[in-house]
Amino acid sequence: MSTAIIVIPCFNEEQRLEVLQFRKYAMTHQNHRFLFVNDGSSDRTALILDDLKASVPEAFDVLHLPRNQGKAEAVRQGMQQAMQANVDYAGFWDADLATPLEMIPEFAAQLDQRPQLALVIGARVKLLGRQIERQQLRHYLGRIFATAASVVLKLPIYDSQCGAKLFRVTPECETLFATRFLTNWIFDVELLARARQMEKFFNCPALEETVYELPLTRWRDVAGSKVKPTDFLKAFFELCSIYWNYLRPSIKTPFANLPVTPVREDIRRAA
């Protein structure tokens, strides 16, 4: 049976962290563990996570970051630690459980059954028979952004921003998380851009062959989300930065060997 560690980035999640759901899942899926990354929370999140770890240390672990560094860096550091734990798969999941934990075995099953796959991504596709509950404005803004990301990546991806992803642990996967991301809001797109570079510079298989989007059966917007409609504007600035640093034709050196150019602070403030 395959093993997995799921990274849960947490910043001030005291009111939204469903501890009982994590405990219930851990009792029935002992081959799956959770690594919570406390991203410098200022509420009681750290205490809640430490209590959870103490209650079932074989299922839960906690990484405390000394200060808030953003979701991208919290995920990156968590994934680095997870991939050193001798497991088959490592992934990340939103702390609010917008994607239910019960979907994790379905993600793992895709990697179990398809050895060529390196990554399974959740896709929030509203189809008959599925419960996808999303605010209308965020849905349409998300569709516009997803189209732009697909064009930039030259990849027919439907939902790059779903907060549920599971990777096969390989040296190539570790390389994707080796250096800090230049973006914060859309580091998911940056991950795919890094993978595109690895195709070009290291002759890795094409993303079209190694990435699978799994339509979710359930997903819901959870109250208290830190993402606001104005953040979609910031995301478009970051998308331009991803293209410039990773995907423009004149790039000669891969990200693993060349420091990337961060988004200018004046652009961040303007956004």
Cβ-Cβ contacts under 8 Å for 261 (sequence gap 6 or more): 182, 241, 244, 245
In a domain, 205, yes or no: yes
For 59, phi and psi rounded to 5 degrees? -110, -25
Q: Is the dihedral of CA 143, 230, 237, 180 positive or negative?
A: negative
Q: Please, what is the angle between helix 187-202 and helix 231-242, to 10°?
A: 10
Q: How many CB atoms lie within 10 A of CB 101?
A: 19
21 inside domain: no
Residue 262 maps to a domain: yes
Residue type, 61: D
Q: Measured between alpha carbons, how far is 154 from 34 in angstroms, rounded to an integer?
A: 33
Does residue 8 lie within any of the structural domains?
no
Q: Which of 21-25, 65-69, 218-222 has the lowest mean pLDDT?
A: 218-222
Encode pLDDT of 113-147 as tens digits: 999 999 999 999 988 899 888 887 777 888 889 99
- pLDDT of 135 reads 81
Which of these ranges, 32-36, 70-74, 251-255, has the smallest mean pLDDT? Answer: 251-255
CB 65 within 8 A of CB 36: no
Indicate whether 208 pLDDT > 60: yes
* Exposed e or buried b per residue across 13-50, where buried means at least 16 C-beta atoms within 10 angstroms of its C-beta: beebbeeeebeebbeebeebbbbbbbbbbeeebbebbe
Locate 233 and state its tokens: 């504007």
Q: Is the confidence at residue 259, as pLDDT, over 70? A: no
> What's the alpha-carbon Rg for the chain, to the nearest Å?
18
Crossing angle between the packed helical segments 19-28 and 45-55, to the nearest 10 degrees: 20
Expressed as residue numbers, the domain containing 257 is 126-162+175-209+219-271
**Considering the chain, what is the average pLDDT of its residues?**
90
Phi, psi of 201 (to 5 degrees): -95, -25
Asked whether residue 198 is domain-assigned, the answer is: yes
Write down how long the chain is. 271
Average pLDDT over residues 173-190: 95
| Count of domains forming the chain | 1
Q: Is residue 77 part of a domain?
A: no
**What would the mean pLDDT of 43-68 be, rounded to a whole number?**
97
Torsion sign, CA atoms 107, 111, 113, 116: positive
In a domain, residue 199? The reply is yes
Q: Is residue 76 domain-resident? A: no
